Amino acid sequence: MSQSEAKATILSRINYALRDQPVAPQTPRAYRRSSSLGHAEVVDMLEDRLVDYKANVYREDASSLPGRIAELLADSVTILPDGLDSSWLPEGLSTVRDHNDDGAPLGARELDALGAVLTSSTVSCAETGTIFLNGAADEGRRALSLVPDHHVCVVPLDTVVELIPEAFERMDHQRPITMISGPSATSDIELERVEGVHGPRRLDVILFG
Amino acid sequence: MTTVDLGMPGTRIAYGSGNLYEETPFPEHARAELKNTQMRANIGHATHTIRGKRARVVGELPDWQDLRDAGSAIKQEVGARLPELLEQFEANVTARGGVVHWARDAAEANRIVTDLVRAKGVEEVIKVKSMATQEIGLNEHLEGQGIKAHETDLAELIVQLGEDKPSHILVPAIHKNRDEIREIFSRRMPGTGKELTNEPAVLAEAARSYLREKFLDTTVAISGANFGIAETGTLTVVESEGNGRMCLTLPKTLITVMGVEKLLPRFSDLEVFTQLLPRSSTGERMNPYTSMWTGVTEGDGPEEFHLILLDNGRSAVLGDPAGRSALHCIRCSACLNVCPVYEHAGGHAYGSTYPGPIGAILSPQLTGVAAEQNNSLPYASSLCGRCYEVCPVKIDIPSILVHLRDEDIRTKHGQRDQAATQQRSTVIEARQAEAEAAGVTPEPAGHPAEAKKKKVPSEMDLLMKAAGTVMSSGTRMGLAERALPLGRGALKPFGGAKWLPGMVGGWTQERDIPVPPNQSFRNWWKNNGENTQQRVAEDLGDTQLAVSAGGEVPASSLAGEIHQHAAWGAEAQAVAKLRAERDQAEGATTKDSPATSTGEREGEQNA
Amino acid sequence: MRIALFATCIVDAMYPKVALATVRVLERLGHEVVFPAGQGCCSQMHVNSGYIEGALPVVRNHVEAFTSADYDVAVAPSGSCVASLGHQQPMVARACGDEDLARGAEEVAARTYELSELLVDVLGVDNAAEQLGSHFPHRITYHPSCHGLRLLGLGDRPTRLLESVDGLELVELPDAQECCGFGGTFSFKNPDVSGAMVDAKIKNIESTGTGLCAGGDSSCQLHMSGAARRRGSQVRTIHLAEILASTRANPLELDEIADLSIPRVHATVTPSAGGAR
């Protein structure tokens, strides 16, 4: 039977199922949707939650940022998204860009051979310790922040919010969204948390501003 | 799939098939599982750990109950507006370069996936943990078609390599401990050697190395979805390990199988569910990774995206106003982790992809309560209500269990023959189709209308009938209770009953019955009720009682809080409201003390 | 005030002494207790076993018995049965298409209180020793039964009352909020799982070193004490009302707990010395 038939059948079943005509309720949105905390408190909360997830957290300003990046990425070949702010970069960092000689983006095995990735981020939610990547030019495509085993992520202080609704407000759903809360982890064996499975096992977060 | 014409042209109720039922009834299956002490120890440890974590992170949020209310309302809206939302969702996914397929049942979904994989010319695919694909038995089906599906979630991998079945929604290998997992890996995972210890970190590292090769080379991935946004066409996968990100990002083709009930109307609704799910599920403030994508994004991720919208009995669930809220489930597994029945019996006893309290209501609704032994599932609960208390979308599991018990009783009494016959036919046809696909001769199936033979009253029927007659009259209760001295006389020499036959034997299997009293309260009261003064005098002697404060003591706010959020059932809420109104209206007189409003009776006491 | 006692079927037939204890506590506060003679069962056994239609006459009987009687509030020594009145009776009536009965059931339910709820919320008891003369010089633990805990939201009312009993030492029960495994007909439809649940409960009670577990629901206690006996455990159960009723002048002795009958002394009391005070 054809696909249009399957669709028509399913919709007809569902319409029949709703023959009692249930009314969709208004959603009560009494939950918190905007922060009542000061910005400094919110940033402190983010740091606390990130540390709780076993991410390494650093606070830098424009003058100290390149030095910190140099230190964190000294031993790796690091891939950089094309749109990354070049003023962040220290001298002498060993880097590659996301295209090989013929201009095509790197393949998965090429990414796998790299040690680290450096990205920016769109917004971070303090209450849950979550960093949102939204496919921006300084974040790169999703594979970049996934395949290399070490992710250094810059979080500009003006992108830090307290609550999840505040973070979602800043998301563009047209582009892929990746929410990151600490390094990859599993609790599948006896509920014992192991940091680091398939995603980057080391997550360094630089609170910047 | 068998369907019954409902009198509307082209309209059918259709039940689901797949990994949703078994031939062994729950009590029997549970009895066998209870003997597995290692499994029980593993599950007990895991569920206690995770429920503690959940309680901590839920307690952190001042607006948890507001989030639950919002989540519940949004899911009700999804049910009520489902046809319109599905159309909108399909249009948006399509507009963004995705291809939408519709699957009426498990077999159709499996066929669509197989065709898509074959069209890519590959024989291996990678998979993200997904309840929907387990429900339809996708891996087994693909295997039969010569396609190997590699599970990439660590727990699913343990289950797959161990040729085992998942026993928990969130942690499918919860029944295995580290030693058992080490044994499975060293036996079945290529590339493991003597260095493999039972340390979780070492085992996880072994899985990482093994799976990395699959991630880098496999070009087709299959996933489920936690949420689909009608308004935008966005899909969401919530995970921890990064295997989901790998599957959603690296392959050229992504195939997502999603139940039709997984929709949310608006993108902003994610702000509710991304808070409810992780705290309820893993007991974390947030899970490590959540991925969202809308159709195909040029230069980022798969070039081809297929979405399969699955019914497989969901429309049948939706058709029952008393049970449809089971479709609100976001598969967090909080109800499993607090359920004492699950804790002792384990997930396999439920015989379905969906174990625990949610499984006990969802499986029998998807398949119909008369399919195989799913009529034993609604009884697999002591109705303690913990599942409702923790459910992030407030599914009234205890009330639905009772509703399904009623359906089962009416089925057995021959009041639902048409539906029951159809439910059994669905199972029989699915079994035949499975057998044919696997190239074996199907087992001879019983006649779908076998319910008929059950119409002889059961022991339970007779007990309920007798009890109903006695218990609906004070006079008859009083008469029946006159037999108490007989029971007392019979049992006293033995110190109570140790064994009784038949159904009541279920009681004496585990417990003694005490020697009954020499008479009932009712019969005693007739002769002694009036002796108030003597009773008071005997109890108090010369003691003077402090007069109670009366009216000064507020209802415990703590208790009120629990009541509001833990009490299931719309009717109970109505009564609580009535009582509150009554208390308010009569405040001064209700919260009284003998000294203020019952002066005469106080006089009696102090006479 | 005038308080109607809903004894509940299990207390009426198997634990009459719990009903009497409830009466004694309320009378001591100066209230009149009446026993609506038509009363039977709350219907929970039928409803929880799936016999909704079969529950209807039971519901109708309860609503009639407690609508026709003259009283201010009603009380039952059971969280589960009180919860059932508000939670299940209107549902049964509606499922059977009787809206009038449903509203009648809601009215009755709104006037019916579980014992600790009545004592604390309505009668203002916050010190059992002083206000009720309660005296029970023993170490005990307490199991909060599920329906009182979750459907009624009794919270700490029962334990606050117990802690204020003269001489009583309350030891916290580990995993107190876990179901004991009774669950009505669950206990014989799924005896193995129910048995595993009560195993865990008994072990937890034993771990408190008290040997005596108080509670507010006789049905759970029938299950727990019966299972303890079967397993050769020394654990015994006692109802909250019995503890509150025990006084210095008329103490409940531990060796009396096993007999479910109303002690003969109460049946043969004569209006003599020390009678009226």
pLDDT interval class at B504 (50, 70, 90)? confident
Instruction: Please report all neighbours of B, defined by 3+ CB atom pairs within 8 A.
Output: A, C
> Would an 8 Å CB–CB cutoff place C137 in contact with chain B?
no
pTM for the whole structure:
0.93
| DSSP collapsed to 3 states, B33-54 | HHCCHHHHHHHHHHHHHHHHHH
Query: Angle, to 10 degrees, between the axis of helix B64-80 and the axis of helix B557-566?
Result: 20
- Provide the domain count of chain A: 1
> Which of C55, C126, C186 lies closest to B553 in CB terms?
C126
Digit-coded pLDDT (tens) for B516-552: 999 999 999 999 999 999 999 999 988 888 876 554 3
Contacts of residue C69, Cβ cutoff 8 Å, sequence gap at least 6: C4, C34, C36
Q: What is the mean pLDDT of residues B80-106?
A: 98
DSSP assignment string, chain C: -EEEE---HHHHHT-HHHHHHHHHHHHHTT-EEE--TT----SHHHHHTT-HHHHHHHHHHHHHHHHHS--SEEEES-HHHHHHHHHTHHHHHHHTT-HHHHHHHHHHHHTEEEHHHIIIIIS----HHHHH-BB--SEEEE---HIIIIIS--TTHHHHHHHTSBT-EEEPPTTTTS--S-TTTHHHHSHHHHHHHHHHHHHHHHHTT--EEEES-HHHHHHHHHHHHHTT---EEEEHHHHHH-BSSSPPPGGGTT--SPPHHHHS--S-TT---
pLDDT at C268: 46
User: Is B599 in CB contact (< 8 Å) with chain C?
Assistant: no
Q: With beta carbons less than 8 A apart as the criterion, state whether B234 and B292 touch.
A: yes
Q: Which residue in A180, A188, A192 is closest to B288 by CB distance?
A: A180
> In B555-586, which positions are buried (b, 16+ CB within 10 angstroms) versus exposed (e)?
bbeebeebbebbbbbebbebbbebbeeeeeee
Q: How far apart are CA B107 and CA B433, in angstroms?
A: 8
**Average confidence (pLDDT) over C261-270:** 63
Tell me, yes or no, whether A157 lies in a domain: yes
Confidence of residue B1 (pLDDT cuts 50, 70, 90): very low
- What average pLDDT does this structure show over B282-302? 97
Beta bridge partners of B497: B513
C165/chain B closest Cα distance in angstroms: 13
The pLDDT score that the predictor gives to residue B496 is: 87
Q: Is B115 helix (H, G, I), strand (E, B) or coil?
A: helix
Give the pair of three-digit tokens for residue B388. Answer: 């409702």
**Residue B65 to residue B565: CA distance in whole angstroms:** 7
Across chain C, mean pLDDT equals 93
Report the phi/psi class of residue C36: left, alpha or beta, with left for phi > 0 and alpha for psi in -120 to 50.
beta
How far is Cα B397 from Cα B338, in angstroms, rounded to an integer? 13
At B2, is the pLDDT very low, low, confident or very high (cuts 50, 70, 90)?
very low
Contact B559 C259 (CB under 8 A): no
pLDDT > 80? residue C277: no
In B401-420, the residues whose Cβ lies within 8 Å of chain A are none
Put simply, whether C200 touches B (Cβ < 8 Å) is: yes
Are A and B touching by the rule of 3+ CB pairs within 8 Å?
yes
CA angle in degrees (0–180, nearest 5) for C10-C11-C14: 70
Instruction: Say whether pLDDT at C187 is over 80.
Output: yes
Predicted local confidence at residue B437, as pLDDT: 77
Q: Which domain holds residue A87?
A: 38-208
Q: What does the pLDDT read at residue B195?
A: 85
Closest-CA distance, C248 to chain B, in angstroms, reads: 7
At C114 the pLDDT is: 97
The ipTM, to two decimals, is 0.97
Interface of A with B in 133-172 (CB under 8 A): 135, 141-143, 146-147, 164-165, 167-169, 171
Give A166's pLDDT tier (boundaries 50, 70, 90): very high
Chains adjacent to C (≥3 CB pairs closer than 8 angstroms)? B
Q: What are phi and psi of B539, to 5 degrees?
A: -75, -35
Query: What pLDDT sits at residue B62?
Result: 96
- For residues B222-231, give the mean pLDDT: 98
Average the pLDDT over B152-162 and give the result: 93
Q: Parallel, antiparallel, or unpaired for β C139-142 and C212-215?
A: parallel
**Cβ of A112 under 8 Å from any chain B Cβ?**
yes
Pick the residue with more confidence: B562 or C111?
C111
Report the percentage of chain B scoring pLDDT > 90.
72
Q: Flag the least confident range among A84-88, B455-459, C180-184.
A: B455-459
Which of the four pLDDT bands, split at 50, 70 and 90, describes residue C212? very high
A13 close contact with B: CB closer than 8 A: yes
Q: What percentage of chain A reaches a pLDDT higher than 90?
A: 89
Q: Is residue A126 predicted with pLDDT exceeding 70?
A: yes
Nearest to B83 among A11, A180, A186 (CB): A11
Alpha carbon B237 to its chain centroid, in Å, reads 21
Question: B 30-49 residues with CB below 8 A of C?
Answer: 30-31, 34, 40
Burial of B234 (0-12, 13-18, 19+ CB in 10 A): buried
What's the CATH number for C128-261? 3.40.50
pLDDT, tens digit, 9 for 90 and up, residues A168-197:
999 999 999 999 999 988 888 888 888 888
pLDDT at B595 exceeding the cut of 60: no
pLDDT classification of B449: cutoffs 50, 70, 90: low
The fold of B83-310 is: Rossmann fold (3.40.50)
pLDDT class for B441, splitting at 50, 70, 90? Answer: confident
Is A63 contained in some domain?
yes
Q: Which of A10, A174, A176 sits opposite B260 (nearest CB)?
A: A10
Tell me the Ramachandran region of residue B384: left when phi exceeds 0, alpha when psi lies from -120 to 50, beta otherwise: alpha
